[in-house]
Amino acid sequence: MADHNTCPVLTPDSVRAAYSLISPYIHRTPVLRSKTLDRIASTPQEESAFKGTAFEGQKPATPIFRLYFKCENFQKIGAFKARGAFHALLRLCSELGIDEVRKRGVTTHSSGKQDNLLAWDKSNNSEGNHAQALALAAFTLNIPAHIVMPSISTKSKIAGTRAYNARVIFSGSTEPERVAIVGEVIKETGAILVPPYDHPDIILGQGTVGLELQTQVEDLLKDSDTENNPKGDSVLNAVITPLGGGGLLAGTATYFSTKPSTNVFGAEPSFEGGDDGRRGLAYGSRIPTVSTLTIADGLRTPVGEINWTLGGIFAVTEQQIKDAMKLLLERLKVFIEPSAAVPFAVILFDEDFRRIVMKEGGKGGWDVGVVLSGGNTTVEAVCRLYKES
C-alpha cells in the first residue's frame, strides 16, 4: 500500500477528494425510507424484554426515529468494500505510476473463517468482500491481482473471484496460514499488499458512504415542510454503521468530524466476544483477536489499530440480528447479509442507545442514517437461518 507518511490526512476534505477519485468506478447507492419501520423503531420495547437486565422494572424508552437506509447491498460486488479497494488502487497508481503497479500487481487474502461457519452457513461468507472488491478494482484498471483463499472456500466464491481474472492461490484456513502465503506471493511477484481496513486510503474510500448519505438526505428533506427537521451543520442527528475491522466506521466518522450535530455510532454482535470494539473501549486497550461464530460473519474481524479508539459502540444478540434482518427483508424489501442488519438491531433493541435518542431528540426525535453494508448471501442460507429459529 501507499506509505502512511504520504497518505492524505483523515479529514472531510480527504474524503471528498477520495469521492472525486472513485466516483467514476462505483455506484451511487440509494437511500430508502419506510414510515412503517420508523413507527416500529419508535415503539417502546415490552417491559418483559428487560427481565434480568439493568433496566428491569424501569419504564421503556420512547424515542422517535426517522430512518434513512443507505443501501450498500446495491454497491458493486454487493458491498461497500468496493469504495476502499478502488481508492487504494487509484492512490497506488498515483504514487507509484500505473505502469509500476501493473508490473508488480496487488495481493490480499480472503479472511473468511470458512472452517468456523457451522453457526451460519458454509456457502456464505461476507468477509471475502474485500478480496472480491480488490479483484474487481484490479480488473477494471488492468492490474494483476493475486488473491489468497482458503482451500475449503466454496466453488461459487472461487468462481466469483476468478471472474475478474484474479489469480487465486489456495492456503490453509487460519489467518496465519493465509498471511504466510501472501508473504510468499509478495516474495515471488513483488505484488503490493492491499489490506482490508486498517489503512488511511481504505478508510477514506469507505468514508464516501457518509458523504453520499449526507447529500442524499439533504435532497430528500430539501422540500419538506416538517418542523422536526434538524438544524445546524447537518441534516442527520446520527449515523450508525456495522463495526468489524472498523474502516467503514472510521471513514464515516472522519467525514462527519466537522459536523458536531451528527453523532456516529458503531454496531457489533455480542455473541462469543464479537463485541471487541465495545469491550476494548471499556478496558482501555484494543483487543487484537476475535474468535466468534456470530451469524454476522462480516464482523468477525478485530477492530484495526487505526480504528479502535472510536467511541459510541453498541452490541446486539444473534436473535436480535435475525429479527432486524427479517423486518428489513419483509418491510423494506431489501436483501441483505446478517452483518448489514446489526445497526438496525441496535436501533430496535439496545435500550442504552434508545435512551440516548429519547433524551437528546426529545419530542422532535432523531434523523438517523443506517448503513446497510452489504448483501452477499444466498436465498438458501437465509432460509436455513430462519429454519433454525
Q: Among all residues, which ones are annotated catalytic?
A: 81, 111
Q: Residue 168 CA to chain centroid, in angstroms?
A: 25
Beta bridge partners of 16: none
DSSP label at 65?
E
In a 13 Å sphere around the CA of 15, the CA atoms on its Cβ side amount to: 24
Distance CA 275, CA 2 (A): 30
Q: d(Cα 58, Cα 334) in Å, to the nearest integer? A: 35
Which residues are registered as beta bridge partners of 106? 145, 192
Region at 370 (left for phi over 0; alpha for psi -120 to 50; beta for the rest): beta
For residue 160, give the nearest of 72, 79, 245 by alpha carbon: 79
Residue 329: which region, alpha, beta or left (left: phi > 0; alpha: psi -120 to 50)?
alpha
Query: Measured between alpha carbons, how far is residue 40 from residues 44, 47, 96, 314, 349 in Å?
Result: 9, 16, 51, 20, 11
Query: What is the distance between the alpha carbons of residues 244 and 301, in angstroms, rounded to a whole number?
Result: 5
Q: Strand, coil or helix: what is 185?
A: helix
Q: How far apart are CA 296 and CA 276, in angstroms?
A: 14
Alpha-carbon distances, residue 128 vs 82, 158, 177, 379 (angstroms): 12, 10, 16, 18
13-16: Cβ within 8 A, 24+ apart: 14/204, 14/254, 15/204, 15/207, 15/208, 15/210, 15/211, 15/251, 15/254, 15/255, 16/211
* DSSP at 328: I
Other beta carbons less than 10 A from residue 196's beta carbon = 26
Residues near 174 by beta carbon (within 8 Å), at least 6 away in sequence: 115
Length of the chain: 389
